[in-house]
Amino acid sequence: MSATTPHPASALSDPQAEAQSRPTYPAGSARNMALLVQLRWLAAAGQLVAIWVSVHLLGVRLDIAPLIAVPALLIVINGLTLLLDRGRAGYTYVELLGALTLDMLALAWQLYFSGGTSNPFTFLFLMQIVIAAILLPPNWSVIVAAMAGVIVARLAFAHRPLDLPGGMFDGAIELFQLGNLVCFVLVAALLVFFVIRMDRNRRQSEEALAVLRQQAAEEQHIVRLGLLASGAAHELGTPMATMSVILGDWQRHPAIQTDPDLRDEVQDMASELRRCKSILSGILMSAGEARGDNPRITTLGEFLETIAAEWNERAGGVVRLHDTVRSDRPIVADPALRQIIGNVIDNALEVSPEFVELRAELNGGDIVLTVLDLGPGFAPAMLETFGRPYNSTKGRDGGGLGLFLVVNVVRKLGGRVEVENRSARGALVRLTIPMASLAYRAGTDAGEDHAA
């Protein structure tokens, strides 16, 4: 049995409000942290290889225990990072700075036990400074440069000198030159690899930002449309109320009651008037105003059957429903969602008046609604710019706003819209909507029910 809820404004969860409640991170910070983790893996492996080569091939006498402890610690930290940070949307500048500081301290520890600044691998601090300049704001990267300077200055005076083997080198200069060569090649390769990857992350972030700006512009356009629609609905409310009163008087008039044709025509006019009032109520509810009946709590199956039956009656029996879900799960019969599904069906009927099919299926936690037709399909240019305002092939003023509203309402619900041409004939529009944004549950707000 359907019920009503006194809180239409709380009927659906607002993904935008949920997004605003989540912390914001710098663009591309998750991908950049992944690069730092990769660099740490390379550092741990490189340190182990360098220790082995120094001891077994060059014969350098090193204090193995503290040197082995650092790559082991880096491996543990990377494992914990991958385990605990799974699914994170991003990282703050403080976390990125902490990761760079950890890497510098690990390098400083290794250099302390392997000759301090006499070790050519001291130049690896320059790579940390370059990475910080790319990942962090200017004032934050200065902190990294200052820390690196302090660490190098300290290592110049406080370190354990290398215990070089006698007879292998005529002097320390040969070993230093060999280390310089290896360090130069290593730093050059790492900088090329990681700077290219980070620059790609930056470009991807800029593209994502451009998409967000486009969405913001579209949402602002929707706000203007909503204001115009709400104003028009208010203006039309008064004359329609007057017409309703007049039609009620006509229906009771003896002359009309005795004439079957006039009586049927007046009843048709009253029916159409009620439909117009229902449309106005849906417009006002979508704009956040309560007018007329509140949204109903119903089931997914009943919601889809009602929409299909309504359009099937209006289109003369050509609209079919293929429901593989048949769920009795309670949902909120939101007027905005009902309206955009009707928009898609209406568009399909314009190009395919003999056949339109509405398919419903579950895909994981999403409800997938697909509208198919037998029309000529979408033009290639239409497929590329689908969902933009005033993008239509119908050649009339204001065309394209229906699909524009469909895309944005579904996006507000956390879903997506896809369009494509069918291989044989016709086109399809697929609406994928998270069930969580439609599901109804009993709430505790002032003892009344509300939607999740």
Q: Across the strands, what pairs with 430?
A: 370, 418
**Pairwise CA distance, residues 419 & 415, whole Å:** 14
**What pLDDT digit, counting tens, does each position of 124-139 carry?**
888 888 888 888 888 8
CA 169 to chain centre: 60
Give 452's pLDDT tier (boundaries 50, 70, 90). very low
Helix (H) or strand (E) holding 356: strand 356-363
Question: What is the structure's pLDDT at 108?
Answer: 93
End-to-end CA distance of the chain: 19
Question: What is the structure's pLDDT at 356?
Answer: 93
**Location of structure tokens 């340190």:** 47
- 414 in Cβ contact with 434 (< 8 Å): yes
Q: Which CATH superfamily is domain 296-451 in?
A: Histidine kinase-like ATPase, C-terminal domain (3.30.565.10)
| Phi, psi at 258, each rounded to 5° | -90, -10
**Pairwise CA distance, residues 330 & 442, whole Å:** 10
Question: Higher pLDDT residue, 151 or 220?
Answer: 151
Q: Across the strands, what pairs with 357?
A: 320, 372
Report DSSP letters for 382-441, one per residue. Answer: HHHTTT-TT--SS-STTTTHHHHHHHHHHHHTT-EEEEEE-SSS-EEEEEEEEGGGTBEE
Question: What is the structure's pLDDT at 346?
Answer: 86
Question: What is the structure's pLDDT at 431?
Answer: 94
**What pLDDT digit, counting tens, does each position of 269-301 carry?**
888 888 787 776 656 555 544 333 455 688 888
Helix, coil or strand: residue 279: helix
Question: What is the structure's pLDDT at 216?
Answer: 73
Question: What is the structure's pLDDT at 150?
Answer: 93
Question: What is the structure's pLDDT at 57?
Answer: 80
Question: What is the structure's pLDDT at 165?
Answer: 67
**Pairwise CA distance, residues 131 & 148, whole Å:** 12
As a whole number, mean pLDDT of residues 5-15 equals: 41
**What pLDDT digit, counting tens, does each position of 41-57 carry?**
988 888 898 888 888 88
Question: Higher pLDDT residue, 226 or 416?
Answer: 416
Residue 142 structure tokens: 């200065």
Indicate the Cα dihedral angle 14, 418, 435, 276, nearest 10°.
70
- 13 in Cβ contact with 452 (< 8 Å): yes
Region of 178 please: left (phi>0), alpha (psi -120 to 50) or beta: alpha
- Percent of the chain with pLDDT strictly greater than 90: 14
What ranges do the domains of the chain cover? 12-294, 296-451
**What pLDDT digit, counting tens, does each position of 165-175 carry?**
665 445 555 66
Residue 11 structure tokens: 């009927």
Please list, residue by residue across 352-372, b when 16 or more beta carbons sit within 10 angstroms of its beta carbon and e when fewer do: beebbbbbbeeeeebbbbbbb
